[in-house]
Protein backbone atom coordinates (compact mmCIF):
# COMPACT_ATOMS: atom_id res chain seq x y z
CA UNK A 1 0.00 0.00 0.00
CA UNK A 2 1.43 3.34 -1.06
CA UNK A 3 1.08 6.57 0.85
CA UNK A 4 2.02 9.05 -1.88
CA UNK A 5 0.65 9.89 -5.29
CA UNK A 6 1.19 12.61 -7.88
CA UNK A 7 -1.44 14.86 -9.44
CA UNK A 8 -1.79 17.67 -11.93
CA UNK A 9 -4.72 20.04 -12.22
CA UNK A 10 -4.80 20.31 -16.02
CA UNK A 11 -5.07 23.48 -18.16
CA UNK A 12 -8.84 23.15 -18.77
CA UNK A 13 -9.50 23.22 -15.02
CA UNK A 14 -7.00 25.96 -14.14
CA UNK A 15 -8.36 28.05 -17.04
CA UNK A 16 -11.97 27.69 -15.90
CA UNK A 17 -11.12 28.76 -12.35
CA UNK A 18 -11.62 25.33 -10.76
CA UNK A 19 -8.22 25.11 -9.05
CA UNK A 20 -9.44 26.15 -5.60
CA UNK A 21 -12.51 23.91 -5.63
CA UNK A 22 -10.50 20.89 -6.80
CA UNK A 23 -7.80 21.41 -4.16
CA UNK A 24 -10.51 21.79 -1.51
CA UNK A 25 -12.09 18.49 -2.57
CA UNK A 26 -8.69 16.74 -2.51
CA UNK A 27 -7.88 18.03 0.99
CA UNK A 28 -11.38 17.24 2.32
CA UNK A 29 -10.88 13.68 1.03
CA UNK A 30 -7.96 13.33 3.45
CA UNK A 31 -4.92 14.03 1.26
CA UNK A 32 -2.06 16.17 2.58
CA UNK A 33 -0.05 18.32 0.15
CA UNK A 34 3.66 17.42 0.35
CA UNK A 35 4.80 19.50 -2.66
CA UNK A 36 3.05 21.91 -5.04
CA UNK A 37 3.82 24.20 -7.95
CA UNK A 38 2.02 26.26 -10.61
CA UNK A 39 3.83 25.89 -13.93
CA UNK A 40 3.35 25.93 -17.69
CA UNK A 41 4.97 22.96 -19.43
CA UNK A 42 6.98 23.25 -22.61
CA UNK A 43 6.10 20.98 -25.54
CA UNK A 44 9.20 18.89 -24.83
CA UNK A 45 8.36 18.50 -21.13
CA UNK A 46 4.74 17.51 -21.86
CA UNK A 47 5.94 14.96 -24.43
CA UNK A 48 8.39 13.46 -21.93
CA UNK A 49 5.79 13.28 -19.18
CA UNK A 50 3.40 11.40 -21.48
CA UNK A 51 6.14 9.46 -23.30
CA UNK A 52 4.29 6.17 -22.69
CA UNK A 53 1.48 7.46 -24.94
CA UNK A 54 3.78 8.62 -27.79
CA UNK A 55 2.48 5.98 -30.24
CA UNK A 56 -1.19 6.66 -29.47
CA UNK A 57 -3.30 8.57 -32.04
CA UNK A 58 -4.21 11.24 -29.48
CA UNK A 59 -0.60 11.95 -28.39
CA UNK A 60 -0.16 15.32 -30.16
CA UNK A 61 -3.64 16.43 -29.11
CA UNK A 62 -2.73 15.53 -25.51
CA UNK A 63 0.56 17.45 -25.66
CA UNK A 64 -1.10 20.50 -27.28
CA UNK A 65 -3.74 20.47 -24.56
CA UNK A 66 -1.24 20.10 -21.72
CA UNK A 67 0.77 23.12 -22.90
CA UNK A 68 -2.28 25.29 -23.60
CA UNK A 69 -2.16 26.88 -20.14
CA UNK A 70 -0.72 26.54 -16.65
CA UNK A 71 -1.08 23.43 -14.52
CA UNK A 72 -0.82 22.81 -10.80
CA UNK A 73 1.46 19.85 -10.00
CA UNK A 74 1.44 18.28 -6.54
CA UNK A 75 2.59 15.32 -4.47
CA UNK A 76 -0.17 14.10 -2.14
CA UNK A 77 0.00 11.88 0.93
CA UNK A 78 -2.64 9.56 2.39
CA UNK A 79 -2.86 5.87 3.24
CA UNK A 80 -3.48 3.94 0.00
CA UNK A 81 -2.86 7.17 -1.90
CA UNK A 82 -2.68 5.92 -5.51
CA UNK A 83 -5.89 3.86 -5.42
CA UNK A 84 -7.86 6.29 -3.25
CA UNK A 85 -6.92 9.22 -5.51
CA UNK A 86 -7.92 7.35 -8.68
CA UNK A 87 -11.28 6.72 -7.02
CA UNK A 88 -11.61 10.42 -6.08
CA UNK A 89 -10.92 11.62 -9.64
CA UNK A 90 -13.08 9.03 -11.45
CA UNK A 91 -12.82 7.40 -14.89
CA UNK A 92 -10.62 8.89 -17.66
CA UNK A 93 -13.75 9.75 -19.66
CA UNK A 94 -15.96 11.97 -17.48
CA UNK A 95 -19.02 10.46 -19.17
CA UNK A 96 -18.13 7.21 -17.36
CA UNK A 97 -17.02 8.82 -14.09
CA UNK A 98 -19.02 8.20 -10.91
CA UNK A 99 -21.15 11.00 -9.47
CA UNK A 100 -19.24 13.31 -7.15
CA UNK A 101 -15.83 12.50 -8.63
CA UNK A 102 -13.59 15.38 -9.70
CA UNK A 103 -13.77 14.45 -13.38
CA UNK A 104 -17.57 14.09 -13.25
CA UNK A 105 -17.84 17.54 -11.65
CA UNK A 106 -15.21 19.46 -13.64
CA UNK A 107 -14.10 17.62 -16.79
CA UNK A 108 -15.45 18.32 -20.28
CA UNK A 109 -14.40 15.20 -22.19
CA UNK A 110 -11.90 12.30 -22.35
CA UNK A 111 -9.04 14.60 -23.40
CA UNK A 112 -9.75 17.68 -21.32
CA UNK A 113 -10.39 15.78 -18.13
CA UNK A 114 -9.40 18.27 -15.40
CA UNK A 115 -6.90 16.19 -13.40
CA UNK A 116 -4.14 13.61 -13.59
CA UNK A 117 -3.58 10.91 -11.00
CA UNK A 118 -0.72 8.39 -10.99
CA UNK A 119 -1.77 4.83 -11.88
CA UNK A 120 0.84 2.98 -9.76
CA UNK A 121 3.25 3.50 -6.86
CA UNK A 122 6.15 3.28 -9.30
CA UNK A 123 4.73 5.97 -11.57
CA UNK A 124 3.85 8.18 -8.59
CA UNK A 125 7.57 8.28 -7.73
CA UNK A 126 8.69 8.83 -11.35
CA UNK A 127 6.13 11.60 -11.88
CA UNK A 128 6.87 13.34 -8.56
CA UNK A 129 10.59 13.26 -9.39
CA UNK A 130 9.83 14.76 -12.83
CA UNK A 131 8.49 17.94 -11.20
CA UNK A 132 10.07 18.28 -7.76
CA UNK A 133 13.57 18.35 -6.29
CA UNK A 134 14.22 17.13 -2.73
CA UNK A 135 14.23 20.77 -1.60
CA UNK A 136 10.69 21.24 -2.90
CA UNK A 137 8.96 18.38 -1.07
CA UNK A 138 8.16 17.99 2.62
> Using CB under 6 A as the criterion, which residues of the chain lie in contact with ligand GDP when the complex forms?
58, 61-62, 92, 110-111, 113, 116, 119
- Residue 71 pairs in a beta bridge with 39
Residue tagged active-site, from 116, 117, 128, 131: 116
Q: Tell me the closest approach of the beta carbon of residue 135 to ligand GDP, in angstroms.
A: 28
Q: Is 116 a catalytic residue?
A: yes
- Closest approach of Cβ 62 to ligand GDP, in Å? 5
Chain residue whose CB lies nearest ligand GDP: 111
Pick between residue 8 and residue 36 the one whose CB is nearest to ligand GDP.
Answer: 8
In sequence order, what are the beta bridge partners of 38? 72
Residue (of 85, 96, 83) closest to 25 by Cα position = 85
Residue spans of alpha helices (H) in 7-120: 11-15, 19-28, 43-49, 59-66, 81-89, 102-106
Q: Which residues are known to be catalytic?
A: 116
Amino acid sequence: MSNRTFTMIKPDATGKGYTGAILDQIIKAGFTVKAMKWVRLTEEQAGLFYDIHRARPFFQELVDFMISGPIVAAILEKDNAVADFRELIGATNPANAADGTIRKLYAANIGENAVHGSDSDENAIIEGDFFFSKLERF
